[in-house]
Amino acid sequence: MLRQRVITALVLLAILLPALFYPSTVPFAVVVLVLMAAGAWEWGRLSGLGQTGSVAVGAVCTALCAGSWALGWVDRPLTALWIAGGGLWVLAVAWLLQAGVPGWPRIPAAVRLVAGVLALWLAWLAVVKAGLISVATMPLLRAKELGDIIDKAQPTLALCDGQLLEELQQAQAQHPELRRIVPFNLPGQPDGLETLAARYSGHFEACPTAGEDIALLAFTSGTTGRPKAAVHTHRDVLAACETWPRHVLQAKPDDIVMGSPPLAFTFGLGGMLVFPMWAGASVYYPDIAYTPQAMAKLIHDVGATICYTAPTFYRQMAPFMKEQMAQRGAGALRVCVSAGEGMPDATRQLWKSSTGIEITDGIGATEMFHIFISSPPHAVRRGAIGKVVPGYSARVVDDDGHELPRGTVGKLAVIGPTGCKYLDDARQANYVKDGWNYPGDAFLQDAEGYFFYQARADDMIITAGYNVGAPEVEDALLKHPAVAECGVVGVPDEERGMLIKAFCVLKPGEPGDAAQVKALQDHVKSSIAPYKYPREVVFVDKLPRTETGKLQRFKLKQSP
């Protein structure tokens, strides 16, 4: 009897408190109470809480939803969904994982992803909450590629979106160490995650992990052809929140974040999940595949204030953003973050002229979890990525690890609270030397500490004794009105050692003939030092890229 009276008091308090301070919330509170009561009652029946517990759940959700209405948060895509069901998803999935995985808590669990579906991101949180190791994969991987990941990570359980089951099941047939696949987004499926989770209470105590316990294995995107598994601990994830997000991004609780990077890419994991949660911000996860036009429209539709995507996407999105702003005004967007590959200055200036927003560029690495060199918009220096992020130290060194004088091109070396830890990979010795991480990039640092990206260290083109960075040539080509995209590599040549070869995607209607080749070559000669012009120009329909948008130069080098 006492318990029922306490619950009744909580229900009344949930409705009266918002109404007392915000009278406008009364209609909303009443409507939500009715709607939540039905859902909470059924959830309580399935979970074993009974009627009293069901009413308590409804009361709490009603109070939170009413408060969100009063604060103007009701239009946030995540607010109502998270309060009403997301939290229960995390708790129920975490309980299921702990109860159902032999050898818990140190067995890896693979999370198979379809970008844009909220349940997948919640599943990642549940895996980590249960003390398991998350191994997220890109949605377009085929059975062979998934098999390679299974070989390396040795997961015993996979949570897989129903749309992606076929490829994973084919991989499982060849790799029986993956003992169980639990599908989700298949309502009513007897062995589906929704059905299994409904059997358990929403209450679950997080696994008491230590800071050095492994939270995730992040597979590199394969720009060199052979992905590696980077190990990150719980401490790594939290340390990353205290560096670039705190000092450069500076997100606020009223920010709304959206973007294209998938969760399996640590750029996406940080930017689209961990960092917004750390800042108390909201995230918009669409249920459609992003196109440049669709993203430009959605930025305005949802009032996004922070956007994450790759340089190529910003370039493609610029005309649509300009169109949206002309029709609907400037909108709320204030921060645009780019990473994953070098940002050509032509793309930066195109975006700025179209939107008025200075892109926040950054260089990070899967091995380091996230960005370690970057500058906020007010401190951008044209052509530079930025300065080293507080918490990290970076320098430009020679082949022996000795720091080079400012203004000299050399290898980038970084040290800080996160670092490379490959899983059983001999390439660890090349990446970490004397405690310093070598991401494999060639940089120049100026007298004021700004870092200027030159190229991947193994992509520097040495032609007739000159060092040429492919990104510099690409940037010059992109400023020609006929070029939509391009990639530049060095190819062997007996006379010059290497020749500069450009692969160009032309804009619609532009001819790919000899006259165009000469026009592009002359354009480069007039833009940068003449010896840097591409002596070979090839026109292609598209460039080879990873799922995260990175240019796969090794494939261009293999092209005839």
pLDDT of 249 > 90? The answer is yes
Here the tokens at position 410 are 């050399």
- For the residues of 151-197, what is the DSSP string, one character each? HHH--SEEEEEGGGHHHHHHHHHH-TTS-EEEEES-TT-TTSHHHHH
Which candidate, 59, 46, 45, 43, places its Cα nearest to that of 4?
A: 59
Q: 89-209: which CATH architecture?
A: 3-Layer(aba) Sandwich (3.40)
| pLDDT tens string 186-232 | 888 898 888 888 888 878 888 999 999 999 999 986 545 567 899 99
518: part of which helix (H) or strand (E)? helix 514-527
Asked whether this chain's domains 235-457 and 460-558 adopt the same fold, the reply is no
User: Is 393 in contact with 415 (CB distance < 8 Å)?
Assistant: yes
CATH number of this structure's domain 460-558, picked from the four choices 3.30.70.1350, 3.20.20.100, 3.40.50.300, 3.30.300.30: 3.30.300.30
CATH assignment of 235-457?
3.40.50.12780
Length of the chain: 560
**CA-to-CA separations, 185 to 43, 160, 182, 188, 476, in angstroms, rounded:** 18, 9, 10, 9, 46
CA distance 250 to 330: 21
1: part of which helix (H) or strand (E)? none
Q: How would you class 216 by CB atoms within 10 Å of its CB: exposed for 0-12, middle for 13-18, buried for 19 or more?
A: buried
Least confident of 193-202, 256-265, 455-464: 455-464
Every domain of the chain and the residues it spans: 2-74, 89-209, 235-457, 460-558
438: part of which helix (H) or strand (E)? none
| pTM: predicted TM-score of the whole model, two decimal places | 0.72
pLDDT of 267 > 80? The answer is yes
User: Is 442 in contact with 460 (CB distance < 8 Å)?
Assistant: yes
Least confident of 221-225, 267-271, 314-318: 221-225
| pLDDT tens string 411-431 | 999 999 999 999 999 999 999
**CA-to-CA separations, 537 to 347, 488, 502, in angstroms, rounded:** 21, 9, 5
| pLDDT tens string 360-373 | 999 999 999 999 99
